[in-house]
Structure 1
């Protein structure tokens, strides 16, 4: 069986459409020597549909001061990562999240203060641009923390044994509940169903790196004696992770009002697409996006459009 590092490296290297790589190179060029890697992930990676969709990229930079000419952008990226910006290239549009190499590594580990990064990179992604071999290795090492972190969280709530795919399902349900999400309730299962063999393969390798002791026997994950109390530690941190995750979602929306041109329109588009709503943004809401978000979020929660 291949190691987790080998599997992650191979997955990151799978080719994508040329347009995605060209787009990634354009993004990196905007940040000069600070750009280290560009990762492509999300629904467009799965569907391979680019036109008319919003592509998702993560740009990894050496550090925030080197990436920005404005001190306040570096400060906000450090205090409330990531910063998110819109990009357009050759009739394609994307949102680009910016993280430093250090933050990208740390936010894919169990000590992360929120689930958003490791929940996303436990799913497939592609390394579509990198500065050099050291940057590639750094990206692989960072992402190797994502799947073990997610599966370890899910293991804490297993009774005694569980199938590998069911454990992934539980993990994604937990992470979706720890953010304000517009996607349907069946989204975790649809993500896994797109490539179940991938999740079995990555899962088997990642289980060797979880803190909670387990053994894989005949396709079943069996919990081993928890001599260090790791299960209780993991269970106890989840209520605060859920509360913090939802608050961070709102805080990032507020930050995007200042860093993301057209952010309120993107928010409406995403909710309409995933929740089947018909939100129309008015001119005053574009002028005052933070105020608009504060009005919209409670209404959407009440209607169940976001959870």
Structure 2
């Protein structure tokens, strides 16, 4: 069986549609002194539907000071990563998140204080632009931490034996519950159903790297005796992860009011798309996006449009 790192490297190397490849090169060109790699992920990768959609990219940079001409932007990216910006290129739209190589590595591992990065990169992604082979190796290593982190969390909350796809389902449901999300409740299942063979293959490789010991027997994952108490440790950290995830969502919305042009319109678009709502942004909300977001999110949360 190929190693986890081999599987991740092969997946990252799969090309995307030409328009998306060109968009990635354009984004990298906006950070000529800092960009080390551009990753594409999310629903547009799975569906290959681009028109009228918001594509998702991460730019991995050498460091934040090299990425920005304004010091305060580097400071906020360092204190509350990532910074997120809107981009347009050749008729396509995207939101682009900026992380340093160091933060990207750390946020894909169990030591991360929130789930947002490793929850996304446990799913398929593509490395569409990379500065050099050394950067490619570092990014592949960083991404390879995401699936074991997610599956280790799921192992702590399952029965003594479980199907590998059910384990992924548990893990994704846990991460969706640990953030404010506008997606439907069936979103974790739809992510896995897009390519179940991928999740079986990657899952079996990733399970060899989880702190919680397990074994694949027949068609089930069996959780082995845990004398070191790693299951208890994993369970005990989840209340803080859920709390941090929701608080970080609100904090990032507040930051986006200063860093993300038309961020309140993007928030409304995303919630309408995933939750089936019909939010219309008023002129005063565009003038005061931070105030609007702080009023809008709790209201939608109470209605169940975000969770």
TM above 0.5, yes or no, is yes
Once residues 272 and 54 of structure 1 are traced to their aligned partners in structure 2, the CA distance between those partners, rounded to angstroms, is: 13
Once residues 23 and 97 of structure 1 are traced to their aligned partners in structure 2, the CA distance between those partners, rounded to angstroms, is: 14
How far residue 15 of structure 1 moved from its aligned partner, in angstroms, is 1.3
Please tell me whether residue 247 in structure 1 is matched to residue 247 in structure 2.
yes
2:29 maps to what in 1? 29
2:89 maps to what in 1? 89
How far residue 33 of structure 1 moved from its aligned partner, in angstroms, is 2.2
Please tell me whether residue 238 in structure 1 is matched to residue 233 in structure 2.
no
Deviation string for 1:184-241 (max 9, x for gaps)?
0000000000000000000000000000000011120001010110000000000010
1:123 maps to what in 2? 123
Deviation string for 1:125-150 (max 9, x for gaps)?
00000001011111100000000000
Once residues 21 and 134 of structure 1 are traced to their aligned partners in structure 2, the CA distance between those partners, rounded to angstroms, is: 20
Can you give the 5+ residue segments of structure 1 that lack an aligned partner in the other structure? none
Instruction: Look up the SS of the partner of 1:158 in the other structure.
Output: coil
1:264 maps to what in 2? 264
Once residues 64 and 300 of structure 2 are traced to their aligned partners in structure 1, the CA distance between those partners, rounded to angstroms, is: 34
Once residues 32 and 297 of structure 2 are traced to their aligned partners in structure 1, the CA distance between those partners, rounded to angstroms, is: 37
1:10 maps to what in 2? 10
How far residue 158 of structure 1 moved from its aligned partner, in angstroms, is 1.5
Once residues 251 and 19 of structure 1 are traced to their aligned partners in structure 2, the CA distance between those partners, rounded to angstroms, is: 33
Within-5 A mapping of 1:145-294: 145-294=145-294
1:302 maps to what in 2? 302
Instruction: Look up the SS of the partner of 1:277 in the other structure.
Output: coil
2:56 maps to what in 1? 56
Once residues 80 and 271 of structure 1 are traced to their aligned partners in structure 2, the CA distance between those partners, rounded to angstroms, is: 23
1:100 maps to what in 2? 100
Instruction: Look up the SS of the partner of 1:157 in the other structure.
Output: coil
Instruction: Look up the SS of the partner of 2:36 in the other structure.
Output: strand
Once residues 187 and 162 of structure 1 are traced to their aligned partners in structure 2, the CA distance between those partners, rounded to angstroms, is: 20
Once residues 6 and 115 of structure 1 are traced to their aligned partners in structure 2, the CA distance between those partners, rounded to angstroms, is: 24
Deviation string for 1:7-49 (max 9, x for gaps)?
0000001111111111111111111120000000000000001
Instruction: Look up the SS of the partner of 2:33 in the other structure.
Output: helix
Provide the aligned length of Structure 1 versus Structure 2: 307
How far residue 156 of structure 1 moved from its aligned partner, in angstroms, is 0.4
Instruction: Look up the SS of the partner of 1:274 in the other structure.
Output: helix
Deviation string for 1:110-131 (max 9, x for gaps)?
0001000000000000000000
1:133 maps to what in 2? 133
Once residues 149 and 135 of structure 2 are traced to their aligned partners in structure 1, the CA distance between those partners, rounded to angstroms, is: 22
Once residues 68 and 33 of structure 1 are traced to their aligned partners in structure 2, the CA distance between those partners, rounded to angstroms, is: 9
Once residues 286 and 296 of structure 2 are traced to their aligned partners in structure 1, the CA distance between those partners, rounded to angstroms, is: 13
Once residues 71 and 26 of structure 2 are traced to their aligned partners in structure 1, the CA distance between those partners, rounded to angstroms, is: 23
Once residues 33 and 284 of structure 2 are traced to their aligned partners in structure 1, the CA distance between those partners, rounded to angstroms, is: 39
Deviation string for 1:74-126 (max 9, x for gaps)?
01001100000000000001000000000000000000010000000000000
Once residues 37 and 219 of structure 2 are traced to their aligned partners in structure 1, the CA distance between those partners, rounded to angstroms, is: 36
Q: Return the TM-score normalized by structure 2.
A: 0.99
